[in-house]
Chain A
């Protein structure tokens, strides 16, 4: 039953002339299992191969071909189930979902209907609004997780009146994670997907790559008067970025409200999100709704897991993002904000821990989050593709802490490292950036600057703020290489401050 007891905060209501509305959101996320071979056949799952080269006779639905279950996929589903704090079903079963489509060779998709491998669970999310404000934590219920086959790919632009079909994806294992209708804002929905992505990546069960479609969401949206009777929902298929999820929900909620307020009724239908126009449009109406005729796949026997099998998986679970975040706060003394950002993704957290090893955790956090993540964002690179390793970033920080360079110089060095020009030491050496720490040299520079600005030096006694001006001049003269603390100290002495 579709029950949605939670009422959205007043600030999240959409208020129109007729009064307030709230949005009810549930998501079905499809996460591709990071397996080498397909769910029911031994063909490869890699991305970007030539058409139909990763297809077995089983995937192509040839007569007499039979499925055999991939154990690794079962393990990944169980692992993910634990990551969702969910009930693992020792008995589960594969069913056939029957419909015709050109990229569905068997004429049915093997999925799990009545007995999914994972039952109810829940995760906690922290919605963040457009200004970066963190809201109250929200618990989102997980309805179930089940395994199913992906379909093939239809290509419509190679011929004007025909469709070209590539079955490489056909049969790849997907985990469908179904949430309860527990979200009330677009931000909660994207925070939920972000959280799921963090969990599957931490577990290594799915690479979470939304661009490649390895993680994608079907979004169920309806509106109601706050706390009132539920409205009719529409399902928006295959939305593949956090931003699109928010856009699609906003558009869809507005569409529902407009229709209802104009005296119309919402048709329960399946819709598509057009990311160019930022709109949703009808894909399939209720009249065309399929009758999938689910029934247990007679080619497959039930999955019966031993308690020892799931216990072993549980015992070997990696640290989950929430646990890691708490540890980052307690062990490294990081503020909640840093800990949350750093642990939102396993690769990021792993990176940070290497940088922080044996170094000041807060400085490591700043450099990782501000400089490194900032550079990644700007360049559009994935962390895995970056030319700066965690060790290399750590060395750069070491050069700041041992006074070889100043923090300011270090930013420039980092840019060059990010551009692939070499290690921190190589760049410092090559560009002669080593900080000047020799007191005699600095004193000479200070003397020259004071001499050149004698008038200002006189005023400095009355106006100590001028110190900043002198520091700037000395640093400029040293091309930023003078040790700032030393410059400060000597200037204060010479200016009599």
Chain B
């Protein structure tokens, strides 16, 4: 089956993986950085065939429907459902979500 697989020209490095993982809030053990970089490069190398397409003057497509955003009237029609909002919270207290301390 048709399959083009090559190392991407500007492949990701272990350092890139570390950065991407940090941005994504994913933990990657140090010894996994290289293998993951290799894994991602396998996919990115295949994706790079997009460079062959002539996209000169082509508008990017951001939605599958060619419409303008519908606008809604400014009415208070929602909210007032604190119990629903907190129902699945791992921890809540006195109407608040309780989370690990976000400042030092």
Contact = CB atoms under 8 A, between A and B. Distances in A.
Given A54-B80, A161-B101, A71 B25 contact: no
Interface stretch (B5-13, B38-46, B82-90): B82-90
A162 B99 contact: yes
B63 A53 contact: no
B69 interface: yes
Nearest to A159: B98
Given A43-B79, A298-B62, A158 B71 contact: no
Contacts of B99: 102, 162-165
Contact of A71 (B62, B74, B81, B103): B74
Given A298-B62, A303-B68, A162 B101 contact: yes
B63 A43 contact: no
Q: How large is the interface on A (under 10, 10 to 19, 20 to 34, 35 or more residues)?
A: 35 or more
Contact of A55 (B67, B77, B82): B82
B94 interface: yes
Task: Specify which of B67, B72, B79 lies most central, judged by the most chain A CB atoms within 10 Å of its CB.
Answer: B79
Q: How large is the interface on B (under 10, 10 to 19, 20 to 34, 35 or more residues)?
A: 35 or more
Contact of B62 (A159, A164, A166, A296): A296
Nearest to A168: B79
Nearest to A154: B102
Given A163-B100, A164-B98, A58 B74 contact: no
B71 A74 contact: yes
Nearest to A291: B23
A44 B73 CA distance: 13
Task: Specify which of B23, B76, B80 lies most central, judged by the most chain A CB atoms within 10 Å of its CB.
Answer: B76
A69 B69 contact: yes
A57 B73 contact: no
Contacts of B72: 42, 68-71
B65 interface: yes
A301 B63 contact: yes
Interface of A: 35-37, 41-44, 50-60, 68-74, 93-94, 98, 100-103, 154-156, 158-159, 161-167, 291, 293, 296, 298, 300-304
Given A53-B95, A94-B69, A301-B69, 14 more contacts: A36-B76, A42-B78, A52-B86, A57-B85, A68-B70, A69-B69, A71-B72, A73-B74, A98-B23, A100-B25, A159-B98, A159-B101, A163-B103, A166-B95
17 contacts: A41-B79, A50-B95, A55-B82, A56-B79, A56-B81, A57-B81, A57-B84, A60-B85, A70-B72, A71-B72, A72-B73, A102-B102, A158-B93, A158-B96, A164-B96, A296-B62, A298-B63
